[in-house]
Amino acid sequence: MVAKKKKAPFPPDIRALLTAVSDAVVLLDENELITFMNREASSLTGFTEEEVCGKPLWEICKFLIQKTREPLSEHVYEGVTEDGSFTFPIATILISADGTERIVRGNIYISLNDKTDRKTISSVVFRDVSSRWQIDKASLRVQRFGVLKALAEGVAHNLDDLLTVLLARMSRIRRSQNDRNIVLLSIKEAEEVIDRISSLVSCLSTGQLGADSKEGITLVENVLKSAIGTLSALFPYIELSLAYPDRTGYAGVPPDLLEQVVMNLLLNAAEASGGKGSVSLTSCRIELEEDMEQILAGDYVMISIVDNGCGISESDLIPIFDPFFSTKGKGKGLGLSAVYSIVHSFQGYYAVNSQLDKGSTFTVYLPVADRITIETANDVIPSIAIAGCSGMETDLLISIFESLGCSAFDMTASDSDMKFLSKVGSDDRFNLLVIDSKLIMAEEKFTLESLPSGRQYIVLLNVDEDIPEISSTDIVFLNKPIRIDTVCEALGKCVWTRDFSKQTKSGDNI
């Protein structure tokens, strides 16, 4: 009998080094069985090295994607980079032996087995970041006053400009006191400037950011109008839009915390756009009957903020919610971390989509207040037809629209000859049509401009397709891929846009 060859002992100097590092380290053999676990890995998993040696990795390291509760093991090999590594998705959790859940960040390293020509996991390195992402109440309070400080600085800067304009108006009245028309015009302009000053001062006097609230629910509409009004006063050159249905209702979050989330995201968007771009704020109540986009089924208030600013690089998308991380070169970097901390503590979800030089979309989903709903006779809940989309796209759109309380159907299913465009204007089954741009292009008789008036249209474009320049205000464009937040924003532009009068800009006609 030939004795089995024993493996060489783990080099003591390497073992000592790996034991001393602050990150958790797990090493595996060619069969993905654990051969080594350092002290930090033992502490986080709740197992000793003696207990785990020879056991499968996923039996000991129970990593889950927090939003979906899916095992991380199902996604490792599909996400391996060229260098053979896999980076944990944001908000991956580790369930320890006693059931404790921790948010962890790390990497899994893959190697090629020379004998079997099979890729296997060789090591896992991770760390606990729960304390970094879940900032405490004291830090939230500090960050809240940071928002107030930013508002105060903005008020002071704008007041200087407005007082200069006001003095110029007074000077013009004095010079032209014999010309009644100029005097009346100057008085009117001075009154507008005074209104702007009053609006700026009210930004601080009416805000809820300065004190904690014991109420556990918030009428979302109040926060949205207050926040967008504040941003308008501070950034008069930004093009702002606000959209939400009456049925948005109440969120199960205290007013001071919800206002902190919205103001942080709005200030972030305004700064990203350089104070001169566009920022849109869309909100609605969404009732998901099934898991969608890594969001568990349930009733949520969705708040989405879109800017056309500088965007965020792919490398910065993961750490942007970390405390003290900032791409602006100023500030404490607590704004987005506070957003994450509040949303996470109320069992909500968040999503970030961004493209460099094109802009960013930040979306949060917060649970609605229990047993409180709002339905009004004046609320616009459209009936929606969908045409020219693939089966999967149509199914997804119908799911999203129905989650928003709308009725939706596949128009091409009942008009298989695809000649429905000629009768769009007279079809009374719907008041909003979602149509793929490729369908219009395929019909030689029709163009975007020739779509019948009196209807609202959402036109789907490919990912990189440019938005056409047309004069019609009845058409809203939506780039694929189809997402909850972008569909809600497009629907908001069609039927939920709120009147938002622009204030007089502080540099006009001095």
Q: What is the DSSP string of 88-121?
A: PPTTEEEE-TTS-EEEEEEEEEEEEETTTTEEEE
**pLDDT of res. 115:** 65
Question: Where is pLDDT greater, at 361 or 177?
Answer: 361
Q: Cα 365–367–371 angle (5° rounding)?
A: 150
- Does the pLDDT at position 244 exceed 80? yes
**pLDDT above 90 (res 257):** no
Instruction: Give per-residue burial for 362-391: e unless 16+ CB within 10 Å, then b.
Output: bbbbbbbbeeeeeeeeeeebbebbbbbbee
pLDDT at 284 over 90: yes
Average the pLDDT over each of 57-66, 367-376, 480-489 and give the range with the smallest value.
Answer: 367-376
Check pLDDT > 70 for residue 212: no
Write the pLDDT tens digit of every residue in 289-344.
887 877 888 999 999 999 998 888 877 776 676 655 566 655 555 578 778 878 88
CB of 121 closer than 8 Å to CB of 32: yes
Give per-residue pLDDT as tens, 39-49: 999 999 999 98
For the chain, domains (ranges, CATH) are: 12-131 (3.30.450.20), 137-144+208-367 (3.30.565.10), 383-496 (3.40.50.2300)
pLDDT at 130: 67
In the chain, % of residues over pLDDT 90: 25
- CA pseudo-torsion sign 302, 308, 309, 313: positive
Amino acid identity of residue 205, one-letter, is: S
Q: What is the CA 471 to chain-centroid distance, rounded?
A: 30
This prediction's pTM: 0.67
Give the per-residue pLDDT at 415: 52
Query: What secondary structure, in 3-state letters, does 56-71 show?
Result: EHHHHCEEEECCCCEE
State yes or no: pLDDT of 1 exceeds 50: no
Report the pLDDT averaged over residues 402-422. Answer: 71
Strands (E), 130-238: 218-219
User: Which pLDDT value is given to residue 387?
Assistant: 85
Please, are residues 388 and 410 in contact by the beta-carbon 8 Å criterion?
Answer: no
- Map residue 445 onto helix, strand or coil: coil
Paired residues of 497 in beta bridges: 243
3-state helix vs strand vs coil in the chain, percent to 5:
40, 25, 35
pLDDT for res 332 = 52
